[in-house]
């Protein structure tokens, strides 16, 4: 797994169940999760979802949280109050400070969980998971290349040596892809449609910046 959660207590939930807990807060959109408008909520569905939350131990009854439900709702509240958001693969991460974040992990098409993670060693965890970043020691930083996103895979043979990363701070953010092709590391900027050949050290520094609390 990319990032190890500090605590996990059987917190698997559907997106509809998360939206019910979110309604206890402010009911507003949750960064990097499906939009609330995509879920057509009716009273029978609302009751069915709350009954599921009761069975899972998150609700005492349809109007009252259990201790476990309070814990998860507080994590969701902290995620929504994060200073910065990061999306990578199935993980949505809300940075709280330089040491801690809340992670919403999409475990499958229907299941999510919400956990607290330690981000002090996040770059090392990236390098363990995406070990292709360590397999190009002679990679060099060179002039950027103008190229459309749909041409990337046809032009560069990166196969599984690839991941996408998004960040968001207020109304600004980044949309990038990182990959290795022919022993060269690259970062692609989707917004600018620019491909940057990068050295190993520059890629590591970029990843560190992305996880810094106040930098997009």
Q: What tens digit of pLDDT does each residue of 61-109 get?
A: 999 999 999 999 999 999 999 999 999 999 999 999 989 999 999 999 9
Q: For residues 23 and 37, what is the distance between their CA atoms, to the nearest angstrom?
A: 13
At 42, give phi and psi (nearest 5°).
Answer: -110, 165
Instruction: Report strand pairing: 64-65 vs 112-118.
Output: unpaired
d(CA 187, CA 180): 9
| Band of residue 2 on the pLDDT scale cut at 50, 70, 90 | low
Confidence tier at 199 by pLDDT (50, 70, 90):
very high
- Burial state string for 77-94 with b = 16 or more CB within 10 A and e = fewer than 16: ebbbebebbbbbeebbbb
- Give the mean pLDDT of 157-172: 90
Per-residue confidence band for 166, with pLDDT thresholds at 50, 70 and 90: very high
Name which of 204, 179, 184 is nearest 138 in CA terms: 184
Q: How far from 175 is each of 26, 164, 178, CA to CA, in Å?
A: 28, 8, 10
- In whole angstroms, give the CA distance from residue 94 to residue 149: 27
pLDDT surpassing 80 at residue 6 = no
User: Nearest CA to 65 among 9, 21, 109?
Assistant: 21
| pTM greater than 0.75 (yes/no) | yes
Query: What's the confidence (pLDDT) of residue 169?
Result: 93
In this prediction, residue 37 has a pLDDT band, given cuts at 50, 70 and 90, of: confident
Q: How many residues does the chain have?
A: 216
Residue 38 zone, left/alpha/beta (φ > 0; ψ -120 to 50; rest): alpha
Dig out the tokens for 3 from the structure. Answer: 């990032």
Query: Token digits for 23?
Result: 């309604």
118 contacts 100 by C-beta, under 8 angstroms? yes
Q: How confident is the model at residue 1 (pLDDT cuts 50, 70, 90)?
A: low
Query: Averaged over 181-205, what is the pLDDT?
Result: 95
As given in the structure block, the two tokens for residue 196 are: 């940057």
């Amino acid at each position: 797994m990319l990032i190890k959660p500090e605590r996990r207590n059987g917190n698997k939930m559907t997106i509809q169940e998360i939206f019910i807990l979110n309604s206890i807060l402010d009911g507003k959109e949750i960064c990097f999760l499906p939009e609330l408008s995509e879920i057509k909520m009716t009273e029978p569905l609302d009751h069915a979802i709350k009954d599921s939350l009761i069975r899972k131990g998150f609700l005492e009854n349809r109007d009252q949280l259990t201790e476990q439900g309070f814990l998860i709702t507080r994590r969701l509240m902290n995620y929504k109050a994060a200073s910065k958001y990061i999306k990578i693969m199935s993980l949505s991460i809300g940075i709280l400070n330089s040491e801690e974040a809340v992670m919403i992990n999409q475990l499958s098409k229907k299941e999510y969980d919400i956990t607290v993670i330690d981000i002090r060693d996040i770059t090392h965890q990236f390098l363990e998971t995406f070990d292709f970043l360590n397999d190009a020691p002679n990679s060099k930083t060179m002039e950027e290349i103008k190229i459309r996103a749909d041409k990337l895979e046809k032009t560069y043979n990166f196969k599984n040596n690839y991941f996408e990363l998004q960040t968001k701070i207020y109304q600004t953010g980044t949309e990038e892809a990182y990959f290795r092709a022919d022993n060269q590391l690259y970062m692609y900027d989707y917004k600018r449609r620019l491909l940057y050949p990068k050295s190993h050290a520059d890629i590591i520094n970029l990843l560190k910046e992305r996880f810094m609390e106040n930098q997009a």
